[in-house]
Chains A and B, each alone.
Chain A
Amino acid sequence: MNATPVRPGAEAVAGKGWLAAHKWLILRRSSQIGILLLFLVGPWFGIWIVKGNLNFSYTLNFLPLADPYVIVQSLAARQVPEKLALTGAAFVVLFYLLVGGRSYCSWVCPVNLMTDLAYWLRVRLGLKGSAHISRPTRYWMLGMTLVVAAITGSIAWEMVNPVSMLHRGLIFGLGLAWAVLLAVFLFDLFVMRHGWCGHLCPVGAFYSLIGKFSLARITLPARAACNDCMDCFAVCPEPQVIRPALKAIDGTAPLILEANCTNCGRCIDVCSKDVFAFGSRFNTTVAPVTGVPHPAPK
């Protein structure tokens, strides 16, 4: 149905203007790069706003923030971290309970910049075909990292985790980590569409567990206006999360409650009908679909 070579979002650009059709993308890139820069101005220019890396950081010698996933691995390896790390992890869990678990992936994680580039290039080069690994594999990966931590008694996944390897590498020196990251990039580019972030990464899987209960959600206040252009599906890194809410399957409220929605907001950008908006998980009172009911897609 979408055989025209028009790029996703073209209709939105024509309707809303380029800036409005890229608003959330620009904000998101600014957030990703901005957070990275906050960590980097210390070692680069001696301006110490944030010390450490995404595993644990100390902001202005005041705010501790710890990656709860690393803390959980440490606990699995039978070490109870001290209060500062536990406090930091609690802050982070609370924060993502507010803004959406996998917002970490789309607004903070530096690997996302890389894998998004791989996806963009994949589309640009017209690379079709993709290896099949089911999306729940990431939960097996998550379980595996915890089992390995328990068996080896060490935070084993941190030795190979591309996410912390990239972030730590940029701040403290990459070494051969670039080879691991290149492997992830090439995997996403040639082997599998949204391969790493969408199917395998246990960090994302962990944050999606927080995302099950989080407050900020993509809502679809105007889902009746959907003209089936499929642009949102084309840009969404987790397109399976859209369908139930957009098509009101089984009476689903106009609200994406799926844990793996990354709250990237790209669907809001590319929709020329302004179907999507940011809201909260309690925005269920929007009027039900009033237009012609859509037949459930096969």
Chain B
Amino acid sequence: MNTENKPSAAARRQFLADTARMACGVGLLGLGVGLYAKHAKALPPAALRPPGALPETEFSAACIRCGLCVRDCPFNILHLSKPEEPLSTGTPYFVARQLPCEMCEDIPCVKACPTGALDHSLKDINKSKMGLAVLVDHETCLNFLGLRCDICYRICPVIDKAITLVPLSNPRTGRHTLFIPTVHSEQCTGCGKCEKACPTEVASIKVFPLYMAKGQLSSHYRLGWVEKEKAGGSLVAPDVEHRYNMPEGMKYESGKGLSSGAPADAAPGSAPGSASGLPKAMQGSKL
């Protein structure tokens, strides 16, 4: 090492130290930003995206937070999220219980989006999937209580398709009918009108983001009756008649139970017809 190199060596050390400091500082900040971004990737249950929004993972990469959808919404239902709100800062959302989507036929919010974060291939607002209505509280829903509220059913823009009233007998009175509001996920757009209109103090029907509201059958599940219809007949070979190995003189008949080989006389004390199918202990006048 000659003396000329010494200052440059010191300078190089200083440079490396400075660079390391800078890289670590910036890296730490980056870690914070990254973790924050990861946290904000799941949509909170009360917030719904405008119609046509890409799935949340893609949306946070495609939305450039310009707010043009907010501007072009004629009913002013959309907001841009603020830093303290639990969604990606600056992205659009609406809260159904406050102001639901009015389902404009020309979908101006989607048209306004410059990036395609709101998918421009959505042409029919009835095909949008902003969320999915769920009748969350069976204890407070007036129809579940046996009343004819029906408000969610009547307010639904896709009336009689997204929500139908399914009649069930009312076990409380034993003679009335419950009209159970039942949501059909293929038709429900998640506009939130049902949640907004629900007359209970806290809505009994709510609209959640799809990922929260929709279940999914395991992929190997087959519904027998569907498969039967598809195949045009039973897919299962008819049962081979079961053979019983019985003590001599006894026989077992499906539906009738065990009996002696000889035609049995009606046993004294047994009610006519009661013998069929029931175990012996449960037969007789004690019932």
Chain A interfacial positions (CB closer than 8 Å to B) = 42, 48, 51-53, 55-58, 64, 66-67, 70-71, 74, 77-79, 81-82, 84-85, 88, 133-134, 136-137, 140-141, 144-145, 147-149, 151-160, 164-165, 168-169, 171-177, 180
Q: Which of A64, A156, A174 contacts B34, CB < 8 Å?
A: A156
In the complex, whether B18 has a CB less than 8 A from a CB of chain A is yes
Residues of the A chain whose Cβ atoms lie less than 8 Å from the Cβ of B71: 42, 48, 51-52
Which of B29, B41, B72 is the most central at the interface, judged by chain A CB atoms within 10 Å of its CB?
B29
Whether the pair A175, B84 counts as a contact (CB closer than 8 A) is yes
Bound CA span A173–B84, Å: 12
**B19-27, B43-51, B133-141, B193-201: which one contacts chain A?**
B19-27
Known A-B contacts A51-B68, A154-B41, A159-B40; the reply to A79 vs B114 at CB < 8 A is no
Question: 13 pairs across A/B with beta carbons < 8 Å?
Answer: A64-B114, A66-B114, A67-B64, A84-B115, A88-B114, A141-B29, A144-B27, A145-B30, A154-B37, A158-B64, A160-B83, A172-B67, A173-B82
Q: Does B70 contact A (CB under 8 A)?
A: yes
B-side contacts of A172, CB under 8 Å: 67, 70, 79-80
Residues of the A chain whose Cβ atoms lie less than 8 Å from the Cβ of B85: 175
Residue in contact with A164 in the complex, picked from B22, B26, B90, CB distance below 8 Å: B90
- In the complex the two chains form, is A140's CB within 8 Å of B22's CB? yes
What is the minimal beta-carbon distance from B173 to any residue of chain A, in angstroms? 51
* Residues in A whose Cβ lies below 8 Å from that of B22: 133-134, 136-137, 140
Choose among B18, B29, B33, B67 the residue that contacts A53 (Cβ–Cβ < 8 A).
B67
A174 surroundings in chain B (CB, below 8 A): 82
Residues of B contacting A70 in the complex (Cβ-Cβ under 8 angstroms):
64-65
Residues in B49-83 with C-beta less than 8 Å from chain A:
57-58, 60-68, 70-72, 79-80, 82-83
Q: Contact at A159–B33, with CB atoms within 8 Å?
A: yes
Residues of A within 8 A of B65 (CB): 53, 55, 70, 155, 158, 164, 168
How many Å lie between the Cα of A48 and that of B72 in the bound state?
Answer: 11
Known contacts A74-B61, A175-B82; is-contact A148 B70 (Cβ 8 Å): no
Question: Does the CB pair B34–A151 fall under 8 Å?
Answer: yes
List residues of chain A with CB within 8 A of the CB of B161. none
Q: In the bound complex, how far is the Cα of B55 from the Cα of A79, in angstroms?
A: 12
Contact with A176, one of B26, B63, B83 (Cβ below 8 angstroms): B83
**Contacts beyond the supplied A171-B67, A172-B79, A176-B83: 13 A-B pairs with Cβ under 8 Å:** A56-B64, A67-B64, A74-B61, A74-B115, A79-B117, A81-B62, A133-B25, A145-B30, A154-B61, A156-B33, A158-B64, A175-B85, A176-B84
